[in-house]
Amino acid sequence: MLIDCGEGTQMQLRRFRLKYSKLDYIFISHLHGDHYLGLIGLLSSFHLARRSNPLTIFGPKGLDEIISTHFRWSNTQLTYSIDFHITTDDGLNLLVNTPQLMVYSFPLRHRLPTTGFLIKEKAGLSNLIKSKLEAEKLPVEAIKSLRKGMDYIGVDGSFYPVREYCYPQEPTRTYAYCSDTIYWPELKEYIAEVDLLYHESTFLDAEKERAELTMHSTAGQAASIAAAASVKKLILGHFSSRYKDLNPMLEEAKPIFENVELSVEGETYQL
Ligand SMILES: [Zn+2]
Ligand SMILES: [Zn+2]
């Protein structure tokens, strides 16, 4: 999965040795160039590499037209199909539902229709405690039920609770991505208690008026949203190029929300 695709995304994927042939889904938050201008290049490279797997793209109205116009006028018949879905900024919408996870879009407030994305991991199958199963010779139906994380009650009244026959499950993880948005307190409803929040932080509080005018946020505002939504960790990004030193971003956010980091190109963040 790739969220947003600014200019140079392909180069960065190569630089950090990320296999982009494995990409199945691309999500575009809005149609400002810094969030999608790398897309046509990436789609063209898939074509040159003779990709055959279908690709699913979610993005605002108009993006489908931009893509099809380019390939029509370049007389390109892609080697793979694109399954395009229009996103709307009208609340929480389920976009993807696989056995492993769910992806939702939710509204942001910016100069164009813009959405954030929320990824929720699903609980996997439970790991059974093998020694107990062997010792007690559980019926097959009970094992099936336990693996799905459900207690089993047999017709004869026998009872096999998950807590006794399975190891505790790994907690499922959640991630929310907020690309470009003005400070908007209601946002907290959509991202409540996520494990990791990425939030834009284009300006410092000293430029609050400029942030409001351009419908962006400051580091302090991003931290306030993180605190109000009780998220576990915050990563700041989308810094204006006017700031050569980014430490003041952290200094501004920390007193409001302690567990905060600056995003760094190519870095991996463990959840
Ligand atoms: Zn924007
Ligand atoms: Zn932007």
Confidence of residue 192 (pLDDT cuts 50, 70, 90): very high
Q: Is the Cβ–Cβ distance between 26 and 55 less than 8 Å?
A: yes
Q: What is the pLDDT of residues 101-156, one digit of tens each?
A: 999 999 999 999 999 999 999 987 788 898 888 888 888 899 988 888 889 998 88
Listed residues: CB within 5 A of ion ligand 2: 32, 34, 180
Q: Give the distance (Å) from ligand 1 centre to CA of residue 197.
A: 18
Residue 202 Cα distances to 53, 70, 140, 180, angstroms? 37, 31, 56, 9
Residues 6+ apart with CB under 8 A from 244: none
Active-site residue, from 24, 34, 90, 205: 34
Q: In the predicted model, what is the mean pLDDT of residues 216-238?
A: 98
Average pLDDT of the chain is 95
Q: What is the rounded CA–CA span in Å between residue 192 and residue 49?
A: 41
Q: What is the pLDDT of residue 174?
A: 97
Asked if 151 is an active-site residue, the reply is no
* 238 C-alpha to ligand 2 centroid (Å): 7
Q: Residue range 194-210: average pLDDT? A: 98
For residue 270, what pLDDT is reported? 87
Ligand nearest to the CA of 240: 2
**Res 217 pLDDT > 90:** yes
